[in-house]
Structure 1
Amino acid sequence: MKTILTIFFMAVASVALGQNTVTGVVTDSDTGEGLPYVNIYFPQLEKGTTTNETGAFTLKNLPSGTYALVYSYVGFETKSINVSIPITEPIALSLASSAIEMEAVIVSTPFHKLQSDNVMMVQRQTMAELKSSGAVTLGEGISNIPGVEGVSTGLGITKPVIRGLTSNRVLVYTQGVRLENQQFGDEHGLGLSDAGVASVEVIKGPASLLYGSDALGGVLYINPEKFARENTSQGEVNGNYFSNTQGYSTGAAYKASGEAFKVLFRGSVSEHADYNTADYRVTNTRFKEQDFKAGLGYQGTHFKTELRYNVNRSKIGIPHEIGEQSTNYEPLLPFQELTNHIFSSRSTLFFKQSKLEFNLGYIYNDRKEFEDDHHHHDHAHDHEHEGEEHEGEEHHDHDHADHDEHGEHDEHDAMHGSGNEDMLHPALHMKLKTANYDIKYHLPGKGNFETVVGVQGMHQINTNYGEEVLVPDAITTDFGVLAMSHIHFDKADLQVGVRYDKRWIDINNSLNKTFNSFNGALGAKTNITKQITARLNLATGFRAPNLAELTSDGVHHGTNRYEIGNVNLNTEQNFQTDLALEYKNKHAAFYVNGFYNHINNYIYLSPNGSFINNNPVFNYLQDNAALYGGEIGLHVHPHPIHWLHYQASFETVTGKLNSGAYLPLIPANSLSNTIRAEWDMQDVGSTFAFVKLQSVFNQKNVSAFESSTSGYNLLSAGIGGTFKVFNKDLSLTITGTNLTDKTYINHLSRLKPDGIFNMGRNFSFGLTYTL
């Protein structure tokens, strides 16, 4: 690490100083008139401005080199051009009107292009869009993205599922660094708040080439909010109320930027009672969360850096049966208490025609789980290493009579808050400390070639402090090296890359495992016609077995089975073919994506026919598997009804082992239809209204250990807008979800075995005021 920092600062000192300025004007291609308030942005430099009343703009203090310049305006298409700096002449730009929404720069891929210029298909949605649909949590909001679902345990815990793959097969990035928070468990949520999140990007399919192990199924890339623009400052207060849980979230933020330095701060608090269905409240689905984010940035002519810190503390009840009906916020036993610290540093050093990126991260995940039979132990617990997969929420008795006997006592403990918490001792207490690095060098561009080479790695320590051991103490070390090129032709773009990774796992200082893998990717994009674009991507990915799969040896009480790990498990390796076709004109957009994902050595659980203490024994086995399906989407903005939008999407996925058995936790097929109206009123501001019908179909293609689920329809609607109050923006939203109060069970709900319904009707009210 010291050597890396020494090289880094020597390189900073060696860069010659200089200042470059870019000027230009943006006009309407139909009228030739200058367009005011057009967004001008260099995504690689993270510098931008807006045009003045005549369409002119100026950007100063830019490094030499060739960079993409993105310019966009509401009601017009988004365009991107390459600008070679220094440049002495003003740039003449033009935009044509378009009713389809503005494109955005994709951050999760290394070349930072618009999606229309990207070879790889990436789904992107802003956090504002997800929250306006009525999502209560970040996890629930992400589940509204086509091709993405969530394995849920109540409302407070949601794990992303991308095209049928989840947990360690999906990698999550936040603040530009890899998030590690014991994600192998079904009941382990993201540990992130939606406060301060700008957008979410989803790479569907193997992304091991870019991110290494655990990106076999895809990547969820969570973009934090940007700093304020140069020489500006901004404050914000917000609040939300949710009728179903009688819950609320509230927060405040401040950010300011000078010519070189910039800062931001954001804090939020949320509390929710048990969610309600048409028939009952689901006991102990309540949760509480506090979140704080801070950032410090510096931007010079040849060097930019930002430091960010996020601490998220949550207390989440773990439901298992319907008991006492309550609207208390304090979780009952059993519950989780989680603290997640994320430190990140992202820096870029600009040379004359190249750049060097340093992304460093440190994640400290402190997980405690409290159970019913551990809440009055006064003695100190020995540091045990039993190697038993035994989760905090797994001491669940599904007999209602037993719950009646103890439920009153649990409610009493919860209502007394921190006084009794001092007497609690966690049954499970794990600390996961992860340091990771991602260093990429963008080589000087040669003609139509863009090339990046890099190294990535991780050092992770897992330590147990509780009475039970879910996974053993272990040290995991990753190292990977990669190279990727983007080649531009007149009528097509080609992207090709290779990567090598190695993982070392030291378990309890007694068992050492090593895994390695070569991976590659090849993608092509071509414009078949002016309006039709085709993308074909071929990629491999891999995943090393996790600690639970390697070392389990105990009862999994939540499923009433004895699970035995297998230290001889091999690396999962997959190959995916992904084909996408898109049609787009001024008033309509249509896409269809199809994929086939073959996985060698897929790891799964299977009974061996024996019993231990009346529990059937399950072993971790491997077999080849395949997943296939896709998504279809349509967006129509009829002419001349400029305020009306119709959007529809359909998604499907099927997963099977080579034996013919279906894979578990495969989401049901679903169809979404949305009618949205948008107005921009001169005296009021921008407003919107929408009606959405989501139709989820029967899921009968299930594994031998799960039940099928029936289809259902959910109706949602909402209205909102941004208005000027004391010359400041006030945003208001009112959204209703499941308006018919439908009782239904999502196929990916972990409460499904007990027949517990998902959330009923909910009205959410949101307010944000910019200071």
Structure 2
Amino acid sequence: MTLCCSPNRNWPSVATIALIGGLGPAIMAVPRASAETGFAEYTELDVIEVTAGVPTPGDPRLQAANISVLTGEELQRRERLTLGETLQELPGVDSITAGNQVGKPVIRGLSGYQVQVLSNGMGVDYQQYGARHPPNIDPFLAERIEVVRGASSLLYGSGALGGAIDVQGPAFDFSGDGTLQTSADTLLVYHSNNDQWDAGLKARANNDILSLYTGLIRRSAGDLDTPNAATAPGSGDPTDPKFTGRLPHTDFDQANAQFGMGLMTGIGEFDVRISQWNDENNYLLPTGKGIGLWLRNDEVQVSGDLPLASGWTLNPTLSWQNNLRRANSEGRTREQGYDGTVHLEFDLYQARLEAMHDALGPFDGGTLGMEYAHKTQYSRGTTVLAPGGEVSNLAFFLFESKDMGPLTLQTGLRHDWHSVTADASKTSGDLGFSGRVTHDYSVLSGSLGAVYRLTDRLALAGNLARGFRAPSLFELYADGVHGGVAAIQQGNPDLDAEKSLNLDLGLRWQSPRLRASATLYRNSISDYIYLQDTGEARGNLPVFVYQQDDALLTGLELEAHWDLTDRLELSGALELVRGTNDRTDEDLPLLPADSLRLAATYRFDDRGPIREPYLTLKVRHNASKDAAPGEPFAQFDDMPFGTASTDAYTLMDLEAGIALRAFGNRLARLNLTVSNLFDTEYRDFLDTYKGYTLSPGRDIRLSLNVPFGG
């Protein structure tokens, strides 16, 4: 969806749009005085596309939903191994980790099935019931990542209670005069902490009819290193970790790839995208033993962009996803081969049709759409971690926008029919019943939002949205040892669908040198689903069972980006989130600790061949955080070593980079990042290794990106 610059919309005097959470501007237009009128007119410099949660073209600052976008050099600089780590500097976004692995996004205290991850606008399933199950997506292969904070079921259906993250591949380019144009980018990265090497290649070719791209990356890492510290038992302090220094069984290997082809025809554009993600890794268990895992995800998408008469455009998409998860029993690492303990595989077929329109009736523009999804899952392992079965969903939705002077209204409705069926014939173990058991859910969701432009620099935004999430096969019928979290987990077939009512209220300021926002939110969730420790044990493992109660999440997000001078940039973000179980008045599980991030960047003069040199100092402070009673990993508060609750900590990171002229007008970039500069001992509350070890020590990351062609 293309944003255009129009002087009759009270645009700022310099239209710099804070697309990156207040941490980096994207210049759209600059003003010039009209010789005829004397008023400012705008010369378009760049085109910025916003697709997530947006019914019509417009300034992202003037959308009712809270949207952040990472793209271009900013995405390249933040790109890391996992999706969660790539996004965690955005306000309201955190990451569940296991050392430096996993990177599972958390938005406003919600994660897993409560946050919808998408690939080019289509929902993906990565068996996200597990705290240590990462999205099967490589950020290096993305061209842009859009994050919507707050309930987003209107456009993305079941699973978007907390928000949505759309990871998009390269856009197809049909520019040119018929001759073939080619370009490529290479990436080489080294991490000192775990001796990790990354090597990647992205290439493009296009003319005015055909557009192609491909991407490949290989990542290989040894064991993780934490600061050396006293270890328990034997140290005299039971909260000391069981392991420090070099941690065994924390290595991994990945090989990921994508390919895309676009064709421009007389009736519109047709695209095909193919991707594969492969990961094999070990996890360290509290016993000191390792457990091996093999993960694979394949995707194929076919889509179209078909302009019609009278301002309508059809966007059909068909997709197929195959996901495979295999895991060993305790003590058998990946080097020893697969032992058949956990074997889960599913096929997910989806069809989505969007009809986007200009002015229609009382509205200035919007989207009508329908979506159908069907998933078939097989559980073939000796442990019934999750059952086999089927999940289907049919939905119809509309999203419309109306401008009335300084006021913009946005509203929409959606209805979903969702079905979950556990099937004993698709499950190798005992489910406690034979045949099939089906659970049906019918839910209406919607949103109503408004943005009021108080001045040409200040806007007030509010959004009221209803979301929903149907329980998963795992939450309904799980029954077995989950080795990755050292616990037995059981489902609950009596679960109802979660339903939320989310209210956002925000102030957004934008001037040539200062971009800032303040957002308050309240998310009330009926029948909130969570894992609870029963207090029982089986074979020395705690037993966790899914339950549900009403819950309330509230929070505050502050962010600012200040160009103090032409060379010195200051930025900061504050995040506070509270979540309470209405019945018990206790904290919700796995909420992030309160955090404050500050950064200062100084940009030096170019010197000879060295271009755009900069130095950034970052400080991040996380407050102390007590584990909620009975939440996953809370058992470590009662062990003779480690802890589930964490102390406050402050870390410093250093980043520096230069650019060098490479080929044509493109720049090669060399970046150095030192994370945890002083090798501080700490435990992050969302690091699932916190119970028996420390979070990662100092890491020196050196990356080189060299472009060719273009």
| Partner Cα separation in structure 2 for residue 126 and residue 315 of structure 1 | 28
Give the Å deviation of 1:113.
3.5
Cα distance in 2 for partners of 1:711, 1:430 equals 38
State the AA in 1 paired with 2:408: D
SS of aligned partner of 1:195: helix
Looking at structure 1, the residues matched to 562 and 669 of structure 2 have their Cα atoms a distance apart, in angstroms, of: 26
2:617 paired with 1:691? yes
Preserved CA contact (<8 Å) 2:63 2:461: no
Name which of 201, 205, 216 aligns with 2:150. Answer: 205
- Deviation of the 1:78 alpha carbon: 1.7
Contact 2:533 2:630 in 1 (8 A): no
Aligned residue in 2 for 1:712: 649
Evaluate the alpha carbon distance shift between residue 717 and residue 216 of structure 1 in structure 2; reply closer, same or farther with a 3 A threshold: same
In structure 1, the partner of 2:299 is 342
Partner of 1:491: 406
Q: Name whichever of 585-594 and 674-683 sits farther off.
A: 674-683
Cross-structure match for 1:354: 312
Q: State which of 414, 423, 432 in structure 1 corresponds to 2:346.
A: 432
What is the Cα deviation at residue 175 of structure 1? 2.6
Distance in 1 between residues matched to 2:663 and 2:306, nearest whole Å = 42
1:665 equivalent to 2:590? Answer yes
Bigger drift between 142-151 and 628-637 goes to 142-151
Provide the residue aligned with 1:167 in structure 2. 112
**Is this contact kept in 1: 2:62–2:459, CA < 8 A?**
no
Shift of 1:448: 5.3
Question: How far did residue 104 of structure 1 move?
Answer: 3.9
Match of 1:250 in 2: 199
* 1:592 corresponds to which of 512, 518, 527: 518
Aligned letter for 1:468?
A: T
Task: Give the aligned partner of residue 193 of structure 1.
Answer: 138
Q: Which residue of 2 aligns with 1:502?
A: 417
In the alignment, the residues of structure 1 paired with residue 534 and residue 697 of structure 2 have an alpha-carbon distance, to the nearest angstrom, of 40
Report how far residue 76 of structure 1 moved.
8.5
Give distance in 1, aligned partners of 2:705 and 2:656.
Answer: 15
Preserved CA contact (<8 Å) 1:134 1:736:
no
Q: Partner letter of residue 621 of structure 1?
A: Q
Question: Per the alignment, in what secondary structure is the counterpart of residue 548 of structure 1?
Answer: helix
Structure 2 letter corresponding to 1:129: E
Q: How many Å separate the matches in 2 of 1:698 and 1:126?
A: 33
Aligned-residue offset at 1:699: 1.2
How far does residue 547 in structure 1 lie from its aligned partner after superposition? 1.4
The equivalent of 2:366 in structure 1 is 451
- List per-residue Cα deviations over 1:227-258 (Å, max 9, x = no partner): 45623320222211111111110012221111
What residue is the counterpart of 1:151 in the other structure?
A: 96
Please point out which of 432, 441, 445 is paired with 2:355.
441
Three-state SS of the structure 2 residue aligned to 1:210 is: helix
User: Residue 28 of structure 2 aligns with which residue?
Assistant: 78
AA matched with 2:52: S
Deviation at 1:607, TM superposition (A): 5.0
Residue 571 of structure 2 corresponds to: 647
**What TM-score, normalized to structure 2?**
0.84
Which deviates further from its counterpart, 560-569 or 189-198? 560-569
Q: Partner of 1:405 in structure 2?
A: none
Q: Determine the C-alpha separation between the residues in 1 that align with 2:695 and 2:461.
A: 37
| Contact 2:329/2:483 (<8 A) preserved | no
Instruction: Name the structure 1 match of 2:601.
Output: 676
How far apart, in 2, do the equivalents of 1:138 and 1:471 lie?
Answer: 24
Q: Distance in 1 between matches of 2:67 and 2:691?
A: 34
Report the Cα offset of residue 131 of structure 1. 5.1
Q: How does 1:553-592 map to 2 (within 5 A)?
A: 553-556=479-482, 562-592=488-518
What CA distance in whole angstroms lies between the structure 1 residues aligned with 2:344 and 2:627? 36
2: distance between equivalents of 1:206 and 1:726? 45
Return the offset for 1:565: 2.3
2:30–2:42: 8 Å Cα contact kept in structure 1? no
Q: Which amino acid aligns with 1:487?
A: K
Report the alpha carbon displacement of residue 548 of structure 1 after superposing the two structures with TM.
1.9
Asked whether the equivalents of residues 733 and 767 of structure 1 are also in contact (C-alpha less than 8 Å), the reply is: yes
The answer to whether structure 1 residue 289 and structure 2 residue 254 are counterparts is: yes
When residues 580 and 240 of structure 1 are mapped into structure 2, their CA distance, relative to the original with a 3 A threshold, is same
Percent identity between the aligned chains? Answer: 24
Q: 2 CA distance for matches of 1:181 and 1:133?
A: 23
Select 1:94's aligned residue among 19, 26, 42.
42
Task: State the Cα distance separating 1:444 from its structure 2 match.
Answer: 4.3
Contact 1:737 1:762 in 2 (8 A): yes
C-alpha contact 2:590 2:627 (8 A) present in aligned 1: no
- What do residues 45-92 of structure 1 show as CA deviations (whole Å, max 9, x unaligned)? xxxxxxxxxxxxxxxxxxxxxxxxxxxxx99942599xxxxxxxxxx9
Aligned 8 A contact 2:80 2:139 in 1: no
1:104-142: CA deviation from partner (whole Å, max 9, x where unpaired) = 432212435431232222022237435535844433112
Q: Among 687, 690, 702, which residue is 1:752 paired with? A: 690
What letter corresponds to residue 65 of structure 2 in structure 1? Answer: M
- Name 1:742's counterpart in structure 2: 680
Distance 1:479 1:133 in 2: 36
Indicate the residue corresponding to 1:473 in structure 2. 388
CA contact (8 A) 2:384 2:480 kept: no
How far off is 1:743 after superposition?
1.1
Query: Which residue of the partner structure matches residue 325 of structure 2?
Result: 367
Give the alignment partner of residue 278 of structure 2, picking from 313, 322, 327.
313
Residues of 2 paired with 1:205 and 1:372: CA distance?
38
Which secondary structure does the structure 2 equivalent of 1:203 belong to?
Answer: strand
1:209 CA displacement: 0.5
1:376-427 Cα distance to aligned partner (Å, 9 max, x none): xxxxxxxxxxxxxxxxxxxxxxxxxxxxxxxxxx6xx83xxxxx53xx4331
Contact between 2:420 and 2:472, CA under 8 Å: does it hold in 1? no
Q: 1:763 aligned to 2:700?
A: yes
Is 1:298 the counterpart of 2:263? The answer is: yes
Offset, 1:463:
0.5
CA distance in 1, matches of 2:90, 2:551: 25
Amino acid in structure 2 at the alignment position of 1:314 = D
Name the aligned partner's letter for residue 335 of structure 1: G
Cα distance in 2, alignment partners of residues 561 and 336 from structure 1: 17
Q: Distance in 1 between matches of 2:138 and 2:57?
A: 25
Indicate conservation of the 8 Å contact 2:205/2:212, yes or no.
yes
Question: How big is the shift at 1:581?
Answer: 0.3
Q: Which has more radius of gyration?
A: 1
Identify the structure with bigger relative contact order (alpha carbons < 8 Å, sequence gap 6+): 2
Q: CA deviation at 1:322?
A: 8.2
Distance 1:717 1:96 in 2: 35
Distance 1:560 1:139, change over 3 A: closer
Relative to structure 1, the CA distance from residue 254 to residue 118 in structure 2 (aligned partners, 3 Å threshold; closer, same or farther) is same
1:241 aligns with 2:190: yes
CA contact (8 A) 1:154 1:319 kept: no
Flag the 1:152–1:174 CA change in 2: closer, same or farther, 3 A.
same
Letter of the aligned partner of 1:175 in structure 2?
A: N
Equivalent position amino acid for 2:140 in 1: A
- Determine the C-alpha separation between the residues in 2 that align with 1:606 and 1:257: 54
729-738 or 478-487, larger mean C-alpha shift:
729-738
- Residues 12-47 of structure 1: CA deviation (Å, up to 9, x unaligned): xxxxxxxxxxxx9x9xxxxxxxxxxx99xxxxxxxx
SS in 2 for 1:132: helix
More divergent stretch after superposition (171-180 vs 227-236) = 227-236
The number of residues matched between the two structures is 635
1:261 corresponds to which residue?
Answer: 210
| Unpaired stretches in structure 1, ≥5 consecutive residues | 1-23, 27-37, 40-73, 82-91, 324-331, 376-409, 415-419
Letter in 1 for 2:278: R
- CA offsets 1:500-556 (integer angstroms, 9 cap, x no match): 001112211420110110011000001112211010000000011111221133455
**Which residue pairs with 2:661 in the alignment?**
724
